[in-house]
Each structure stands twice: as C-alpha cells, then as structure tokens.
Amino acid sequence: MRLRIATRGSALARWQAEHVASLLAARDPSVAVELVIVETAGDRRQDVPIWQMGGKGVFVKEVQAAVLDGRADAAVHSAKDLPSHQIDGLVLVAVPERGEVRDALVGSTLDALPAGARIGTGSARRRAQLADRRPDLTFGSLRGNIPTRLERASGYDAIVVAAVALERLGRTDAVAELLPTEVVLPQVGQGALAVECRTDDDHSRAMLARLQHEPSRRAVDGERAFLEQLVGDCDLPAGAYARVTDDREVEVEGLIASLDGRIVLRHRAAGPDPVTTGKEVAVHLLDHAGGREVLSI
C-alpha cells in the first residue's frame, strides 16, 4: 500500500512526516510512504512577521491544497501552524502522542539576561509574556527554520524557540532554559503533530486514524476551541495549554495579552468535554476579564 504525505521541505517538517511514516510502518509494514514536498508562503517570505502575512495559515495552505487536489493523500503539520477552523474537504484525522510543549531560551537563562537585553523572536505571544516578566527586555524579529535561527542567535542576547523543535533535530545542547508554562504559555497545539486527509478518502482515514493518541487529541481539541472562540490565530498575543487530568477531565489554561506585555490575562478551567471547556476559557477572558478591550488596543 502506498500513502503520499504532503509536507513542507524544512528539516523539521521532514522529520515530522517521516515520524508519522514510521508510526504507520510499525502498525503495518506493508505501507510505503512517499513524501510530497511543498513550499509555502511562510517559507518564501521569511523577512516578514507571521502576523503581518495573515497568521499561521501561511505555513499550511499550500500543503492542504496538495491533498485537496489529489497530489497527496495526507498532510502532516505542526499542530501549532494549523488554523483553528477546519478546511472544507479535509479532516483532522489524527494527533499522535504529543511531545514537549514548552518554549526554550537559547543563549541565556531568563534570570541571567542583563538589563535591556535583546531577544530574538517572531512571536507576539512570546514577546508579550517575556515583557510581562521582564519589562526591561527589548525585542528583534527572528524568522526562519531552526538551523537558521540558531545561526543568527549570536546577534541577540537570547532567542526563543519551541523546545520540541530542538529535540526533534538533535539540538537540545542549545537549550539554556526550558521556560515553565507559568512563565510562557505555549502556542495552541505546540509540541503536537496534526495529520489531515480528505474527508471522502475512507481508505486513508482508516489507516491514519490508528495513529490517534487520545489524551493528546483531547488536549489539542481544547486548545483549538479556545483559539477559535477568540476568532483569531497567531497574529494575536494569545496562548493556551491543555492537559488531561487524572480523573480524565481536560484542564485548559488560556492567555490573552497586549503586545507590550503590560496586560496579561490568564484563566483556567476544567471539564469533561475539551471543546466546551476551551470555549468557556476564551469567553471568560473576553467577556469577564477585559480581553476584548485588550485585543482592541
């Protein structure tokens, strides 16, 4: 059996697609996976902040198009790059077991940074939360794949990247500090993979559904529901982290912030249904904690 997986061409994206291929092979050695490499708008325009390009969809639209037009049978994304709304004709068929969710500082720990230190990041979410903890910090834009960011790290006192990316590329030696979620709440879906296929492709759906890790899927569903309720993607200074508790409830913590970090709003709730809980957290922040005013600034 052959399965064509669409993916971006970066080393990290290929690792993710090959990881999904290895999971499939472990369940059925007869499955032969072919990678379909797709260049996205986010890959082509690395000089522009993501939020100025229209949000996280810039990393997935062309990959999704390859599945919709039949060039590929499935797509593998970083779940954090996937817009909160589902595209017609595609289904999020599986979320494999999630990896590390935290962000990492490269170059220095947070406490060791000198006053006025310059931090490299292209994320409004990271910038706002770090500014909340350290109002003295300054920031410079940093885009590109992980090797490129590490090469440019010497131009800053520290840079911020997803720890799971360093782990998957064998560069945990670069980590100066893993930032606790109490300090920097991660992006929705960070550390998780999202596997999509066509809604009407029953064969691929059945094959890929076996990769589902239910606790990871429930957590990601809760975070995506939170973001969808905000009606926004990564151009917003927003983050969320969900986990399945011992009693199988899903606890969702969400965050909305001003870009300068002067206002950071957090709320946490738990419940049996991840989607309902994620939306409740967003509604609380928007309607009861002043979130609408923050996002309008």
Q: Would you list the domain boundaries of the chain? A: 2-96+192-212, 103-179, 224-296
> CA 101, 104, 109, 110 torsion: positive or negative?
negative
Are the CB atoms for 266 and 226 separated by under 8 Å? Answer: no
With 0-12 CB in 10 A as exposed, 13-18 as middle and 19+ as buried, what is 297? Answer: exposed
Give me the CATH topology for the region 103-179.
D-Maltodextrin-Binding Protein; domain 2 (3.40.190)
Q: What are the residue numbers of the active site?
A: 81
End-to-end, the C-alpha distance of the chain in Å comes to: 53
Q: Spell out the CATH class of 2-96+192-212.
A: alpha beta
With 0-12 CB in 10 A as exposed, 13-18 as middle and 19+ as buried, what is 76? Answer: buried
Q: Which two tokens stand for residue 36?
A: 């379909």
CA distances from 47 to 52, 133, 142, 218 (A): 11, 27, 8, 35
Single-letter amino acid, residue 186? P
Within this chain, domains 2-96+192-212 and 224-296 share the same CATH topology: no
pLDDT at 51: 46
Tell me how crowded residue 289 is: count the other CB atoms within 10 A of its CB: 16
233-257: burial string, b at 16+ Cβ within 10 Å, e else? bbbbbbbbbbbbeeeebbbbbbbbb
Between CA 291 and CA 186 the distance in angstroms is 18
Tens place of pLDDT per residue across the chain (297 aa): 899 999 999 999 999 999 999 999 999 999 999 999 998 765 555 555 544 445 556 679 999 999 999 999 999 999 999 988 889 999 999 999 999 999 999 999 999 999 999 999 999 999 999 999 999 999 999 988 999 999 999 999 999 999 999 999 999 999 999 999 999 999 999 999 999 999 999 999 999 999 999 999 999 999 999 999 987 544 578 999 999 999 899 999 999 998 888 999 999 999 999 999 999 999 999 999 999 888 777
Query: For the CA atoms of the chain, what is the radius of gyration?
Result: 19
Between CA 33 and CA 9 the distance in angstroms is 16
Between CA 37 and CA 22 the distance in angstroms is 18
pLDDT at 58: 61
pLDDT at 44: 52
Task: Name the maximum alpha-carbon separation found in the chain.
Answer: 58
126-165: burial string, b at 16+ Cβ within 10 Å, e else? bbbbbbbebeebebeebbebbeebbeebeebbbbbbbbbb
- CATH superfamily, region 224-296: Porphobilinogen deaminase, C-terminal domain (3.30.160.40)
pLDDT at 234: 43
